[in-house]
Structure 1
């Protein structure tokens, strides 16, 4: 298991900025209709480990399927850096798009492929 670190992230235009304390193991790449089309690689962390630094007013929300995840996107550039949800045990969580973390080298990670298309 890798170490928990504080990572900085932004949308493309920089209007939305955040930081999250998470390890970059256990990453998920899902083939559901939403994640696959957007190329998400997701890291999950407790909601309390996530801090929105700027851009709250610049965020829009998208929900689909069971409407369980509040996918957040920048209303200016359209990038979706994270989403809010709840784990099956009721724990509030954040799913962070690893591709929006500024301090992570592209392809320096590995992700488990998950068949979300079948859920």
Structure 2
């Protein structure tokens, strides 16, 4: 397990998180919220996230079944983490919020056909970042 430090964009929300399998769990989802949000999430156990600052500025958004709780900074609007619908004992953490990490290589999961509905997790692709050649 690896411990990472993270924050929202403005720095109001800071935290440490112990990831269950390092960055190997990095993935995107195709559900209506994740597709619009565009974030890559990594996994941690519920007790693996420790808020250092900003609990008072975190806001929560729930939709559809309400099982997943998506948390974001009310100052800068950045999504930091969410409790999972597919596994209520885990959270997903925004990889881009972790110090020194890049969200540009990850699996894309089929969130339109959610595992709690279908009984299986289905990967529908992989996100790759291909740097452009140096441009003036």
Q: Same fold (TM over 0.5)?
A: yes
Q: Which has the higher contact order (CA 8 A, sep 6+)?
A: 1
Q: Which runs of 5 or more residues in structure 1 are unaligned?
A: none
How many residue pairs end up in the alignment? 112
Decide whether aligned partners of structure 1 residues 76 and 70 sit closer, same or farther in structure 2, where only a CA change above 3 A counts.
Answer: same
Note if 1:18 corresponds to 2:51: no
Question: What displacement does 1:87 show?
Answer: 5.0
Alignment match, 2:106: 111
In structure 2, the residue matched to 1:28 is 27
Question: Does the aligned pair in 2 maintain the 1:8–1:103 contact within 8 Å?
Answer: no
DSSP 3-state at the match of 2:84: strand
* Residue matched to 1:80: 79
Counterpart contact for 2:96–2:102, Cα < 8 Å: no
The answer as to whether partners of 2:4 and 2:18 remain within 8 angstroms in 1 is yes
User: Aligned-pair RMSD on alpha carbons?
Assistant: 1.6
Higher-Rg member (1/2): 2
- Post-superposition Cα deviations, 1:52-73, rounded to whole Å, max 9, x if no partner, equal 1110000111001111111111
In the TM superposition, what is the alpha-carbon distance from 1:103 to its structure 2 partner?
2.3
Structure 2 length normalisation: TM-score? 0.75
Question: Are the counterparts in 2 of residues 7 and 103 from structure 1 also a CA contact under 8 Å?
Answer: no
Asked if the contact 2:95/2:103 (under 8 Å) is kept, the reply is: no
Shift of 1:86: 6.0
SS of equivalent to 1:68: coil
Measured after TM superposition, the shift of residue 92 of structure 1 is 2.1
